[in-house]
Amino acid sequence: MSTAKANLYPTADQTVGPYYAIGMAYPLSEEIVPAGSVGSIVLSGYLYDGDGAPVPDGVVEIWQTDADGNVPRESGGLVRKPETFSGFGRSGSDDEGRWGFTTLLPAPTEPGKPAFFAVTVFARGLLSRLHTRIYVPSPATDADPFLSGLSPERRATLIATEVVGGLRHDIHLQGEKETVFLAFN
Amino acid sequence: MDDIPKSAANYPPGHPTQADISAEIADIAKNKPTSSDPNWGAHRTLVDYPPYRSSILRHPSANLELVDPETIELASPAFGDRDVHWTEFDLTQQVNGEPQGERIIVTGKLMDADGRPVAGQLLEIWQANAGGRYRQKKERHPAPLDPNFNGVGRVLTGADGEYKFVTIKPGAYPWPNHVNAWRPAHIHFSVFGSQFTQRIVTQMYFPGDQLMPLDPIFQSITSAKGQKSLIADYDHDVTVPNWALGYRWDIVLNGSNRTWRASEDGPEEDE
């Protein structure tokens, strides 16, 4: 670490609790682009606990590039504006654990790298947010040093599956199919 | 027992008591655990914390994978004036009348670990009303709803990272984790930093709350510094005469789970 003057203690995490929707839900939070708009895809999946049971009170957030690989600098993550792209969305999971977004396919920020959605996961019972990624399936995932350093089973938990109209991706908080969660250098 | 609401007596047989939970909390604290996963820093909340029963099946068992953040993760969403109306900082003025309860000001700074202000970032808060009741359908606590209190606020941090909310002090809140379980008064905070890697959701507590030692959610942070990081200071300079009590709570972001190492914290890590 650099020779910073202050070395402050970081604020600790706590669970979002059962009533996150009071503060975190907002209209069109799942529509980063309007549903059905040109070029839109649906990214969706289910959130499961260590028994494989649906987590009905979780939150999935995604943050992504636009379709050209640019980092969005437009506001509108909370109050949507159809003609601009904020790159941020939030979806609560429903009684079956399902979450989902209408968005654009992200693109690589650097040539040759695989494109992915940056993801944070929250839930009642989950004491700290978890970071993960959802990669868009492409040959570039095979060449990625991080992904190729994982076992095939673990790697598979980070790469979405192409389905009609978009991508499908389940998140397992625990268990045999446990999703790979991230810490950052 | 007629005066006790039914919901308070509806525990399943064998449901743990506060004594059971407190013994588990003490047992874990005695072992001074950090996480067994080296990628969670020493200060982190323990995600595997059985006294909080709902955590048992909802935390990853494998270690976090350590990665270099990529371009998108080194940026964060650009929330702006379009997203947050300037009146949303005041939770006492969102309906027609004033809510019941003790009016308070909660203010502080959003900073990085070097103390640099983090400007223009989104804070979202939600909380129970003065009676300890959340405005949500599934909520069963038989305390009254307050027609003048929604319990939701938002702000963007200012140029010096500062923020301010005006609200009412939330009540303690009963929950089903164990027999006679009560959450200490708290305000939920959702925070964005300048990097998506700094994203944090947490809860702010009030000084002197006697429920904190009993609460398995608060106690899932086992370091004294970590616990202190969530307790606001009463600040008489923030208090406004004849109007509201003032609390100060700074929020310190971490660039990552890994840049913070206990060894850099000096010898006084825990006490």
Closest CA to A30 of A94, A83, A74: A94
Task: Supply the pLDDT for residue B266.
Answer: 37
From chain B, pick out residues whose CB is under 8 angstroms from the CB of A24.
124, 126, 190
CA distances from A85 to A106, B32, B155, B269 (A): 11, 46, 21, 44
The pLDDT, as a whole number, for residue B8 is: 53
Assigned superfamily of B15-56+77-136+144-260: Aromatic compound dioxygenase (2.60.130.10)
Q: Inter-chain contact A180–B62, Cβ cutoff 8 Å? A: yes
Contact A117, A96 (CB under 8 A): no
Determine the straight-line distance between the first and last CA of chain B, rounded to whole angstroms: 44
For chain B, which residues make up each domain, given as ranges? 15-56+77-136+144-260
Return phi, psi of residue B26, to 5°.
Answer: -65, -40
**Cβ pair A22, A146 in contact under 8 A:** no
DSSP B205: E
Q: What is the pLDDT of residues A35-71, one digit of tens each?
A: 999 999 999 999 999 999 999 999 999 999 999 999 9
The CA distance from B173 to B214, in Å, is: 13
The DSSP code for B218 is G
Give the single-character DSSP code of B117. B
Number of A to B CB contacts under 8 A, please give it: 259
Closest residue of chain A to B229, computed from CA coordinates? A11
The string over A137-149, giving b where at least 16 C-beta atoms fall within 10 Å of a residue's C-beta and e elsewhere, is eeebbeebebbee
> 3-class secondary structure for B45-56?
CCCCCCCCHHHC
Which tokens go with B252? Answer: 């310190």
CB contact under 8 A, A6 and B43: no
Query: Under DSSP, is residue A54 helix (H, G, I), strand (E, B) or coil?
Result: strand
SS3 breakdown of chain A: % helix, strand, coil, rounded to 5? 10, 30, 60
Q: Which residues of B are catalytic?
A: 134, 173, 183, 186, 188
For residue A36, what are the contacts with CB-CB under 8 A and spacing of at least 6? Answer: A102
CB pair distance less than 8 Å for B227 and A81: no
**Residue B24: enclosing H or E segment and its boundaries?**
helix B18-30
What ipTM was reported for this prediction? 0.96
H helix intervals, A91-180:
140-143, 145-148, 152-156
**Cβ burial, residue B137 (10 Å; 0-12/13-18/19+):** exposed
pTM confidence score: 0.93
Minimal C-alpha gap between A32 and chain B (Å): 12
Q: Is the CB of B64 less than 8 angstroms away from the CB of A129?
A: no
Identify which of A13, A109, A184 has the shortest CB distance to residue B202.
A13
State the best of B58, B121, B155 to mutate against chain A, taking most chain A CBs within 10 Å.
B58
Q: Band of the pLDDT at A7, cuts 50, 70, 90?
A: confident
Single-letter code of the amino acid located at B232 = A
Of A30, A8, A178, A85, the C-alpha closest to B62 is A178
Residue type, A165: G
B77/A8 Cβ within 8 A: no
Paired tokens of A174: 């625990």
Sign of the dihedral defined by the CA atoms of residues B38, B44, B49, B54, in that order: negative
Q: Using only the alpha carbons of chain A, give its radius of gyration.
A: 17
- Put simply, the chain B residues between 177 and 206 with a CB less than 8 A from any chain A CB are 188, 190-191, 196-197, 199-203
Selected residues 67-96 of chain B with any CB under 8 Å from a CB in chain A: 67-73, 75-84
* Nearest CA among B117, B125, B52 for reference residue B94: B125
Q: Do B202 and A183 touch (CB under 8 A)?
A: no
Residue numbers in A near B124 (CB within 8 A): 23-24
Note which residues in 121-180 of chain B have CB less than 8 A from chain A: 122, 124-126, 134-136, 138-139, 150-154
CA B47, A184, B84, B103 dihedral sign is positive
Pick the CATH number of A21-172 from 3.30.70.1070, 3.40.50.720, 2.60.130.10, 3.40.50.920: 2.60.130.10
For every one of its 271 residues, what pLDDT tens digit does chain B have, with 9 covering 90 and above?
344 455 556 789 999 999 999 999 999 988 866 666 666 665 579 999 999 999 999 999 999 999 999 999 999 999 999 999 999 999 999 988 999 999 999 999 999 988 999 999 999 999 999 999 998 877 778 889 999 999 999 999 999 999 999 999 999 999 999 999 999 999 999 999 999 999 999 999 999 999 999 999 999 998 888 999 999 999 999 999 999 999 999 999 985 333 333 333 333 333 2
SS3 track for A2-38: CCCCCCCCCCCCCCCCCCHHHHHCCCCCCECCCCCCC
How far CA B129 is from CA of B99, B150, B186, B204, B232, in Å, comes to: 8, 8, 10, 15, 18
